[in-house]
Amino acid sequence: MTALGHDISEPDGPLVDFFTDPGGLWAAIGKQAIVWLADQAPVLIPGVAVAVTGGWVLWSRVRVWRERRLLQGARCVEILAPPAVAPKGGEVLWAQLTGLLRPWWRRITTGQPHLAFEYTFTHTGLAIRLWLPGTVPLGLVRRAVEAAWPGAHTRPTHPAPLIPPGRVVSAGRLRSARPDILPLRTDHPTDPLRALLQAATGMSEDESACVQILARPATGSALRRARRQARMLKSGQPTTRALALTLLLLHRAQPSTTGKQDPDHSTAIRQSATKLAGPQWQCTLTYAATCSTSTERARGAEDVARGRAHALASAFGLYAERNYLARTRLRRPEPHLSARHFPRSRPALLSVPELAALAHLPVDPDAPGLQRAGARSVLPPPPIPEPAPGNAVKPLGRAEAGSRRPVGLHVADARHHLHVMGATGSGKSTLIANLALDDVRQRRGVIVIDPKGDLVTDLLRRLPDTCADRLVLIDPDDPHTPPCLNVLDGTDIDVVVDNITGIFRRIFTAFWGPRTDDLMRAACLTLLKHRQRTHQLVTLADVPRLLGESSYRLRIVPALKDPVLRGFWDWYESMSEPSRAAVVGPVMNKLRAFLLRDFARRTIAAGPSTFDLSHILNGGILLARLPKGALGEETARLLGSFIVAGTWQAAAARARTPERSRIDATLSIDEAHNFLTLPYPLEDMLAEARGYRLSMLLAHQHLAQLPRDLREGISANARNKIFFNTSPEDAAALERHTLPTLSAHDLAHLGPYQAAAHLLANGADTTAFTLTTQPLPAPVPGRAKDLRAAAGGRAGPRPAIRP
């Protein structure tokens, strides 16, 4: 061809061939490929076979390595249900744990971790555990569980086989009977687990059962497959390739798209779209029932196990809706259940609501066999300080939640007093001992009144040896001469008399009338005025002498200048002997019963006081061990009350000392209701004690021990509260101090050495939280003996100066 005198050649090449004859080009390429493959077949076929086999072996090794790696360091978290289970807690849990999905490149190398939610049934009840591989942080799962079900407790355990050895086992696996995009039922009017729990009731000791749900976040390929099925469902096509291939082979026509107008079909489309709108999980559900063959029931063990397994599987019929769970038999369930390997066959695809309906805590409060959690663990508020050397914070223990940091009470806040309450053995004595040891180390004043005896014994074994010169010990079991506290000592005569008469009146209320009170008051006042005039020693033991010996009265009464007292004794002398005996009888029998006990007489009435309670408050140590079993209840109460009265007089004397010069001191009283017998309103004492820098720790077991006035005074004025395990009745009354974070159920279900605390921080109230007391330090061998010897050596024998 020519154009304008030039020759133009025909275009040629593969591109021209493709445009001019595309079919011929592809045919030529195919022929050449066939020729090349035929020539290379002897080499290519073995090479491809080797490559495929090697790839398969390598991939199998990688999968086995990934499974072993997931099992290394695997743990179980036992979940204890709270008293009230949040119905949507399961959805919250699985929605949080969706974050365990790893990126694709990490799944290739290390695999995708999965979890196992397990129900285990025995004759003792139901246990719910969450198994997690070693690559999943334990703290993450525990916090997710506690966030999903507030008040639930988690307890890490080692994974144990779900099927005991040597038993007949009947097991099966539940799979989605229809395409995964069709949902299971989730809108149950009652807890769907009710049927499962009922199916597992009535077990004998030979039986056990379990339900295991393996779950892992769905990967991108599973989601793409599900969305493709949803599109096919919407277009009216078969939702699975197997169904489409079957229709093609059978020469059946494809379903008409007119089915899209079917209302039921439209509902299925909407439900599948709703299911795929949120996070998805790949899951398998396995159940098993076992029965022992080592008993007389061995002949029927297989039937028992099979019947129980059928009952468990039937309980999941409640989930049938668009989709349902179909049963398949599992031949060898032991390795599948105990190893917790995620199966390689295609698992079911479940949405978060579907998985939560299968794997959650029973909602019914009366769920059979379910172990409930105790008190919830509550974080301490940020203002609660941590004890540290030199920061003037008293140690209370460790927080139960979060980082379990140390928690304490600032010395300035402790002046608002501390109310400690809890049952015997709950941890009160440990808390009091730890606080006392800290006060001793910081050289604060320490006074401990112990009506049982163990608290002081524990302290003596652990006090530092450097405190021997500050220690005063009152103990009826100590062989040394006891120290003496003369209750008639004191500069303010009226206060001393008020205290003594008030103590006797409170302790002997049923036998103490106005005349008895008048008699005791006049006798004590007469002796104190005699001491004031002559500077001679008087003790409580002189009261019976004054009332019963006329010669002794003649030496004292005539010198009285107080006309009221003279008038009293004139009236007393004017009575006949029988009348006088009737008047003095109530006083004499109470005093004699007290003074006839040798230890009480030597401690209270053996002479002048051998220690000064003002010095004790300024950094000294007074340990009063007053066991009721050794002294008697009334004697122990009197001795403790006299110590409390003397402490209060010493604290009141601090009014003459500048406030900045007052050293902080603590009066710790166990079984406080026995010793708060002073004739002053408790609320006034607590308010004034704060100004004197005297902190009071008031401990007892239950509210019924406190008279109404004491109960109200402590509730309002001891502003720091620490409650150990209490009765349900007391918990209902005390929860007003701990709500909204801790309820009556929490207070009634605190564990040993676990406490609920409502404290002040910088003078302001904080929300209640839970703590665990720290164990006492190890006792020092021989320390108690050395301290007793040092304290007894200072007491020594005391000469008494008598009028």
| Per-residue pLDDT tens over the stretch 454-469 | 999 999 999 998 998 9
The pLDDT tens digits of the residues spanning 748-761 come to: 988 889 999 999 99
The predicted pLDDT at position 17 comes to 64
CA distance 490 to 602: 19
Domain 73-218+279-358 identical in fold to domain 409-481+622-783: no
The pLDDT tens digits of the residues spanning 214-241 come to: 999 998 888 888 888 888 888 777 666 5
Lowest mean pLDDT across 141-150, 280-289, 387-396, 584-593: 584-593
CA distance 506 to 517: 11
Q: Is the pLDDT of residue 168 over 80?
A: yes
**Measured at the alpha carbon of residue 104, what is the angle toward residues 99 and 108, in degrees to the nearest 5?**
115
Lowest mean pLDDT across 264-268, 393-397, 616-620, 655-659: 264-268
Q: Is the pLDDT of residue 59 over 80?
A: no
Residues 499-510, mean pLDDT to the nearest whole number = 84
CA distance 586 to 733: 38
The pLDDT tens digits of the residues spanning 418-455 come to: 999 998 888 899 999 999 999 999 999 999 999 998 99
The two tokens of residue 89 are: 């807690």
- Burial code (b: 16+ CB inside 10 Å, e: under 16) for 453-489 equals bebbbbbbbbbeeebbebbbbbbbebebbbbbbbbbb
Residue 549's pLDDT band, with cuts at 50, 70 and 90, is confident
Q: How many CB atoms lie within 10 A of CB 502?
A: 18
Give the HSE-up count for residue 735: Cα atoms under 13 Å, Cβ half-sphere: 17
Q: Is the pLDDT of residue 298 over 80?
A: no
CATH number of 73-218+279-358: 3.40.462
Domain residue ranges of the chain, discontinuous segments joined by + = 14-69, 73-218+279-358, 220-271, 409-481+622-783, 484-610
The predicted pLDDT at position 66 comes to 67
Q: Where are the beta strands (DSSP E) in 123-277?
A: 125-132, 153-157, 167-176, 207-217
Mean pLDDT of the chain: 85
The pLDDT tens digits of the residues spanning 305-362 come to: 899 999 999 999 999 988 999 998 888 888 778 888 888 777 899 999 999 999 999 9
Q: Is the pLDDT of residue 244 over 50?
A: yes
Q: Which residue has the higher pLDDT, 27 or 746?
A: 746
Q: Which residue has the higher pLDDT, 506 or 256?
A: 506
CATH superfamily of 409-481+622-783: P-loop containing nucleotide triphosphate hydrolases (3.40.50.300)
Q: Which residue has the higher pLDDT, 646 or 1?
A: 646
The pLDDT tens digits of the residues spanning 133-153 come to: 888 888 899 889 988 998 788
Residue 800's pLDDT band, with cuts at 50, 70 and 90, is very low
The pLDDT tens digits of the residues spanning 600-648 come to: 888 988 888 889 899 999 999 999 999 988 888 888 988 998 899 889 8
User: Per this entry, what is the length of the chain?
Assistant: 803
CA distance 481 to 475: 10
In three-state secondary structure terms, 156 is: strand
The pLDDT tens digits of the residues spanning 473-491 come to: 999 988 888 899 988 887 8
For residue 384, which of 737, 22, 720, 753 has the smallest C-alpha distance?
720
Residues 63-67, mean pLDDT to the nearest whole number = 68
